[in-house]
Amino acid sequence: MRTAAIIVAAGRGTRAGGDLPKQWQVVAGKRVIDWTVDAFLNAAGIDSIVVVLHPDDLDRFAPTDRVEVTTGGATRVASVLSGLEFLDGSDVTHVLIHDVARMCTQSAYIVYTVATLETRTAVAPALPVTDALWHGADGTVSGTQDRTGLYRAQTPQGFVFKDILAAHRAYQGDAADDVEVARAAGIEVTIIDGDENNLKITTPEDFVRAEKILQGQMDIRTGSGYDVHRFGPGDHVVLCGVKLPHDRGLQGHSDADVGMHALTDAIYGAMAAGDIGRHFPPSDPQWKGAESHIFLRHASDLATEKGFKISSMDVTLICEHPKIGHHADAMRQTLSDITSVEIDRISVKATTSERLGFTGRGEGIAAQAIATLVRS
């Protein structure tokens, strides 16, 4: 079984309000489309992802090795067919089709849907209707509707790939969702339990509700790091990846970048993943004199592998000399280049110890750092 996900994101979503289509608006710190795509990226069993975009939006979303992009059509049905045709000829055997506006879908629920699809021809999540239903006309109730056997449909909806591709190729006209297309082709669709929090962004009020849901789902971790290196012979120091001329150098097994070491340990600490010494033992000669960007990049990549995004980083360098102030922006940029964290989420600053202690006596430099990681 090889499963792909098609995320339909070609609509304009005018009812949601705002200057941009809803998939490009920001909720809880990320765009709607990024929340949705990340949920599938973090779901075991999803082998590839195809995002179907409006032709005008192709420059808003960059494909990666796991996420490909194609253009959609004038209707949802046309956009889904475009995504299916994009996958035709691949080794995909099953497919989940999902609306980008359902940004609160959890990775665990996607895994559940894939697992259920292993023994079904098609599956679709839904919630039974529990409210009373009315017919209305001219602002008044004109009748009632029995709610027995009625469901509120959700996505992702899962299908055998070849079956749903054939169904879409044969379908004429528009459809509310892919279950309608599947049933028109005689495909039996199994209802699976939906999730009340799996709402679809439709109106401006939905953004507020989605933000509350996502904040409740987010796993926020904070780690701290601290490091010290003594001065010794040399003509420069390296701090947060920037070489500064100085009358002495910092001593250490690697390049003794005290700021980057503290930050690396802060990221490891937020994940409860030990420290630099655990991942790069000083007893191993291959790390002697190593540049510290190797350690920081490893910590950053490990965070990504574990499903975390580094939200912010803060480094404080403690020393009398050299003076750090006019080098801070270069340090921030270097840290951004290594970790891919936006520079406006990185702080590098310096302070003295008022000539107290080993830093005050000019015997070395200390650094402390804090890193915040978020996983949804």
Q: For the chain, what is the domain count? A: 2
Name which of 278, 275, 231, 277 is nearest 252 in CA terms. Answer: 231
- The CATH number of residue 241's host domain is 3.30.1330.50
Rounded to a whole number, what is the largest CA-CA distance in the chain?
A: 90
Range(s) of the domain holding residue 248: 219-375
Both 100 and 238 in one domain: the answer is no
What are the structure tokens assigned to 113, written together? 């849907």
**Cβ atoms of residues 159 and 122 within 8 Å:** yes
Question: Do 73 and 81 meet the contact criterion of CB atoms below 8 Å apart?
Answer: yes
The position carrying tokens 């010494």 is 277
User: Residue 57: which of 78, 33, 91, 40 has the closest Cα?
Assistant: 33
Please check whether residues 292 and 343 belong to one and the same domain.
yes
- Report DSSP state, residue 36: H
- The verdict on 227 and 179 lying in the same domain is no
Structure tokens at 5: 């996900």
Q: Are residues 211 and 239 in the same domain?
A: no
Condensed to tens digits (0 to 9), the pLDDT of residues 137-165 reads 999 999 999 999 999 999 999 999 999 99
From 170, 187, 217, give the residue that closes a domain: 217
The whole-number pLDDT of residue 376 equals 59
Per residue in 324-337, pLDDT (tens digit) is 889 999 999 999 99
Residues 36 and 98 in one domain: yes
Among 181, 200, 217, the domain boundary falls at 217
Pairing label, strands 140-145, 236-239: unpaired
How many other CB atoms are there within 10 angstroms of residue 252's CB atom? Answer: 20
Per-residue pLDDT of the chain (376 residues; tens, 9 = 90+): 999 999 999 988 777 777 788 899 998 888 999 999 999 998 889 999 999 999 999 999 989 989 999 999 999 999 999 999 999 999 999 999 999 999 989 888 999 999 999 999 999 999 999 999 999 999 999 999 999 999 999 999 999 999 999 999 999 999 999 999 999 999 999 999 999 999 999 989 988 888 888 877 668 899 999 999 999 999 999 999 999 999 898 888 788 899 999 999 999 999 999 999 999 988 888 888 788 999 999 999 999 988 899 999 999 999 989 998 899 999 999 999 999 999 999 999 999 998 999 989 989 999 999 999 987 5
Q: Cβ neighbours of residue 181 under 8 Å, at least 6 residues apart?
A: 77, 80, 164, 167, 168, 171, 175
Question: What's the confidence (pLDDT) of residue 260?
Answer: 94
Q: What is the pLDDT of residue 210?
A: 87
The pTM of the full predicted model, rounded to 2 decimals, is 0.62
**Shared domain check, 273 and 213:** no
Q: Are residues 64 and 211 in the same domain?
A: yes
Identify whether residues 204 and 292 lie together within a single domain.
Answer: no
| Nearest-angstrom CA–CA distance, 231 and 247 | 10
Q: Do residues 34 and 162 share a domain?
A: yes
Q: Residue 78 is which amino acid? A: A
